[in-house]
C-alpha cells in the first residue's frame, strides 16, 4: 500500500538526512540559500501575468528543525531589503497551521513540538499571490513530489489555494539537500507538490524536471562512496532507518 511505501521512505530518508554531519549541513544550507537568493534576484521565481512575471512580494519561511535544510539566510536577505517575511504557526489542537508576520529571528519562539514559530500575538499573514512559500520535507523528486512527515499541515494549508498554486501566483519551493532527492516519491491526490526544488547543486523547475527552464538543470554530480547516487538505495527500493520525523511527537507538527 502507498501508506506503507511512504512510511518506509520516511524511515530511510530520515536516517540519510540525519547522517549528514552538522557542519556539512550548515555549509550545504548556505549554498542552498545562495541559489535561492540568486534565483529571486534574477526573477526565476516569477509570478503574474506579465511576459516576464514579477519577483515575489513576500517570503514564507519555515524554521529548520533537527537536520532540515536551513533557508533562514534567504529570510535575512529579505529583511535587509524590506521584503515582508512570514513563518508558520501551528495550532496542534485544531490541526491547523497559519502564517504569521515576523520582523526577524527574534520573533521566533519554541512552539508546537519544539519547533520555533511566531509568537501568539504575531500578526496573521495571508498566503496571497506573490508569496514564495518554502516547505520542508524528507524526500522530493524532480516532478515536484514531496514526502512530508505525515501531519498534513502543508497539504491542508495549500488546499485552499490550489488555483493560485497551479497558476504560479503562489510559488511553492522546497529547500533540500541533494541526498533527499529520489527517483519517485509515492504520492496521493491530496499531496501538495512543489514548483521548485532548491538543493546545493542548483534549482529544478519541477514543471519541466529541470529541463529548459532558463535557471538551473539539476544533475547529480555522481555516486556516493558506496557506489550509489545520493538519495537512492541500490535497487531503487525503500530501505530501512530510524524514524524520528520533524518533531518530538513523531508525525504530527507538519506534513
Bridge partners, 222 (sequence order): none
pLDDT tens digit sequence for 218-249: 333 333 333 332 333 333 333 333 222 344 33
Distance CA 51, CA 71 (A): 29
Distance CA 207, CA 209 (A): 6
Distance CA 66, CA 202 (A): 23
124: left (phi over 0), alpha (psi -120 to 50) or beta: beta
pLDDT tens digit sequence for 49-60: 444 567 899 999
This prediction has a pTM of 0.82
* Minimum mean pLDDT range among 35-39, 46-50, 52-56: 46-50
Distance CA 135, CA 62 (A): 7
pLDDT tens digit sequence for 62-109: 999 999 999 999 999 999 999 999 999 999 889 899 999 999 999 999
What pLDDT score was predicted for residue 251? Answer: 40
Bridge partners, 247 (sequence order): 250
If you count them, how many residues does the chain have?
255
Amino acid at each position: 500500500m502507498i501508506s506503507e511505501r511512504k512510511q518506509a521512505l520516511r524511515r530511510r530518508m530520515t536516517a540519510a538526512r540525519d547522517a549528514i554531519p552538522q557542519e556539512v549541513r550548515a555549509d550545504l544550507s548556505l549554498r542552498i540559500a545562495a541559489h535561492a537568493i540568486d534565483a529571486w534576484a534574477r526573477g526565476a521565481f516569477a509570478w503574474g501575468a506579465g511576459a516576464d512575471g514579477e519577483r515575489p512580494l513576500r517570503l514564507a519561511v519555515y524554521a529548520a528543525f533537527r537536520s532540515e535544510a536551513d533557508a533562514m539566510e534567504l529570510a535575512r536577505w529579505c529583511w535587509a531589503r524590506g521584503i515582508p517575511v512570514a513563518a508558520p504557526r501551528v495550532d496542534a489542537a485544531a490541526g491547523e497551521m497559519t502564517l504569521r508576520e515576523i520582523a526577524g529571528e527574534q520573533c521566533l519562539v519554541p512552539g508546537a513540538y519544539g519547533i520555533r514559530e511566531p509568537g501568539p500575538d504575531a500578526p496573521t499573514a495571508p498566503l496571497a499571490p506573490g508569496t514564495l512559500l518554502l516547505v520542508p520535507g524528507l524526500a522530493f523528486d524532480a516532478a515536484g513530489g514531496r514526502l512530508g512527515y505525515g501531519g498534513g499541515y502543508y497539504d491542508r494549508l495549500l488546499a485552499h489555494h490550489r488555483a493560485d498554486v497551479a497558476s504560479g501566483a503562489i510559488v511553492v519551493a522546497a529547500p533540500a539537500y541533494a541526498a533527499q532527492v529520489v527517483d519517485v516519491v509515492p504520492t496521493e491526490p491530496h499531496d501538495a507538490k512543489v514548483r521548485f526544488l532548491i538543493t546545493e547543486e542548483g534549482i529544478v523547475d519541477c514543471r519541466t524536471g529541470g529541463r529548459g527552464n532558463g535557471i538551473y538543470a539539476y544533475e547529480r554530480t555522481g555516486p556516493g562512496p558506496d557506489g550509489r547516487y545520493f538519495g537512492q538505495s541500490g535497487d531503487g527500493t525503500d530501505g530501512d532507518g530510524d524514524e524520528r520525523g520533524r518533531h518530538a511527537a513523531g508525525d504530527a507538527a507538519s506534513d
